[in-house]
Chains A and B, each alone.
With several copies, the nearest count.
Chain A
């Protein structure tokens, strides 16, 4: 049984195997209880109950006081990771564009200021590079996930 998830640490391939009622992966094992909950036995032998919910393609998992957001990549689909693009972290309004097309920037430079949830947020260059496209102007409303600017390394 193979699944691909997008996690904070990047894309992860997860191959789980089943023995009896138990599923295992990397030394962890789990079992589905009668009522549908999942009981996890971690490598150190301790047992925990997990809670999980799927919203869209994303599994949200609560385990040991930690919450994980695991976006499942449909087999065949390509991961939604943008290449070099800088995307809007949430819906909002572009307040100010601080750079121009063609401008060289260093990692950490503020490229754009976005207003969302009554707060200002900086869009910052993740690497050194050259701005190759600016897709919105000050005043524009943007949706979450849209590419605001393109940066070429």
Chain B
């Protein structure tokens, strides 16, 4: 390889596929998307230079089908595969197979993935490297009954409240908080079942649930030319269902010495496994300034944009450089301003964040300075139950944290999505909470703010106004213009994206 990639296969979908495809395009690298049948009309397919459809009707037989993906890669002579996040991104066996096929894996070595990807092994590795880990216990038993017994025994030593986590986990899947012994077994069964479904590996481990802590993670980059650096921290404490919804950089309470201490620990962690590429070392940061290793994500992360905006480093572009064998292009760490990301989900925040589906009849994102949108959808697309219900990441940057929050509120106010329930209003109210404004968030923030679940704070007068609008639109036949087309043919057939405007210019 002449230190240059020529064609990259993006083994992912949705917004992260778009992010990577655009980076390839900017880098002058040609790109190949792979897509399942139900993604044929997705934006990422459109953005790719070439796109190949995956045969199969489940995730396992499409985006997780290593053999099929490797065959496509070989048939189309790609010289690298970028896995994005999720799917195959942390599968060491796939990284190995990719390398064996003579294709460059955009990410760390299979060995590094294995050592960090198995969360139990990672805990042990880190403990040995002197990085503090959360008090807890690994459960090696694989078989259900034996595992449940071992979990029960370990629970006495770890103590309550505790957290069950899937050893192959990520994204909140296979994770359960257990506050009381009576909940333990059903929680363990649920966690294992979810872990098996998501990762094909039911092993879970126990950790003391450290309440009142912040989730703070360090972004690192490592190249083959001897440089391993950190790019400061992100705070991602605000989580619902163990999934991040509000992420920011820098952490509001971070101090330079602590940043250096955590950064050094993260760099040490990366070096311990000969890390290459972009990765994230996650920590819990206790109120007293103690921090504990949680896990390392050996891939690009959902919330990487906030780091990009404060450091000015294009992480995906650096991934491509590093994978090509080039040195990373970024210089010394230079943090400027504040960035916040919120994850827009199709979900009913008022109903325990239940995922929602629907057609994006209107999808009108905010514009203007300091606003970035990473999305894989566009107006007219359908939100289906097939994939994760994240619609977009809305990211803002501003000179200060307060201004970033103001900008985020403005951007959320401007964002109009009609046709599916979203968490936009929830996110807006989140930005109005004193705890969020003060930067005093921890991993229990949402549960504490809305112990009985969130419901929107809407005045009766606005509710009435909305009913008035719907009635008035209905009464004036404002939908008639299109509904007159709703004959059977069209409702079941293809929808035309073509538009004809009735006004004619001479």
B-contact 0/1 string along A98-131, CB 8 Å cutoff? 0000000000000001011111110000000000
Verify if A86 is at the interface (C-beta below 8 Å from B): no
Name A70's contact: one of B428, B466, B495 (CB within 8 Å): B466
Does B77 interact with chain A (Cβ within 8 Å)?
A: no
How far is A3 from B467 in the complex, measured between Cα atoms in Å? Answer: 9
Contact B499 A53 (CB under 8 A): yes
The residues in A between 28 and 69 inclusive whose CB is less than 8 angstroms from any CB of B are: 28-30, 32-38, 40, 42-44, 47-57, 59-69
Q: Are B198 and A1 in contact (CB under 8 A)?
A: no
B478 touches A36 (CB 8 A): yes
Contacts A90-B355, A119-B355 given; does A12 touch B467 at CB 8 Å: yes
Residue A84 interfacial (CB < 8 Å): no
From B356, B417, B494, give the contact of A34 (CB < 8 A). B494
Contact of A90 among B385, B458, B463 (CB under 8 A): B385
The residue on A at minimum CB distance from B504 is A56
- Known contacts: A34-B41, A51-B362, A70-B467. The answer to whether A60 contacts B419 by CB under 8 A is yes
Bound CA span A27–B476, Å: 20
**Residues B473 and A26 in contact, CB atoms below 8 Å apart:** no
Considering the complex, give the chain B residue whose CB is closest to the CB of A57.
Answer: B504
| B218: Cβ under 8 A from any A Cβ | no
- Choose from A28, A38, A49, A57 the contact partner of B461 (Cβ within 8 Å): A28
Instruction: Tell me the B420-460 residues at the A interface (CB within 8 Å).
Output: 421-422, 424-425, 428, 456, 458
B472 in the interface (beta carbon within 8 A):
yes
Interface string of B468-496 (1 = CB under 8 A from A): 11111111101100010000000000111
Size band of the interface chain A makes with B:
35 or more
Which of B364, B387, B461, B495 interacts with A36 by CB under 8 Å? B495
B197 within 8 A of A: yes
B358 within 8 A of A: yes
Q: How far is the CB of B166 from chain A (nearest CB, A)?
A: 13
Task: Tell me whether A117 and B424 are in contact (CB under 8 A).
Answer: no
Give every chain B residue within 8 A of A65 (Cβ-Cβ). Answer: 412-413, 424-425, 428
Whether the pair B503, A59 counts as a contact (CB closer than 8 A) is: no
Does B461 lie within 8 Å of A54, measured CB to CB? Answer: no
Q: Are A120 and B193 in contact (CB under 8 A)?
A: yes
Give the residues in chain A near B386, CB-CB below 8 Å: 117
Q: Are B468 and A90 in contact (CB under 8 A)?
A: no
B425 touches A66 (CB 8 A): yes
- List the B residue with the shortest CB-CB distance to A34: B494
> Does chain A have a CB within 8 A of B354?
yes
A85 CB–B CB distance under 8 Å: no
Contact yes or no, B361 A60, CB < 8 A: yes
Q: Does B50 contact A (CB under 8 A)?
A: yes
User: Inside 8 A of B479's CB, which chain A residues have their CB?
Assistant: 54
> B461 contacts which chain A residues (CB < 8 A)?
26-28, 42-44
| Interface check B388, CB cutoff 8 A | yes
Could you tell me the distance in whole angstroms from the C-beta of A144 to the nearest C-beta in chain B? 6
B335 within 8 A of A: no
Q: Quick one: which of B194, B364, B416, B505 contacts A55, CB cutoff 8 A?
A: B505
Contact residues of B with A, CB < 8 Å? 40-41, 46, 50, 173, 190, 193-194, 197-198, 241, 350-351, 354-359, 361-362, 364, 385-389, 412-413, 416-419, 421-422, 424-425, 428, 456, 458, 461-476, 478-479, 483, 494-501, 503-506
Apart from A50-B469, A143-B506, what are 13 other A-B pairs with CB-CB below 8 Å? A3-B474, A23-B475, A25-B467, A29-B468, A33-B40, A38-B478, A40-B465, A43-B461, A49-B46, A51-B497, A53-B498, A54-B498, A116-B355
* A–B pairs, 9, beta carbons within 8 Å: A25-B464, A53-B500, A59-B474, A60-B361, A90-B355, A90-B356, A116-B385, A119-B355, A120-B194
Closest 10 CB pairs of A and B: A56-B504, A60-B418, A59-B470, A36-B496, A53-B361, A68-B466, A25-B468, A28-B465, A54-B479, A53-B418
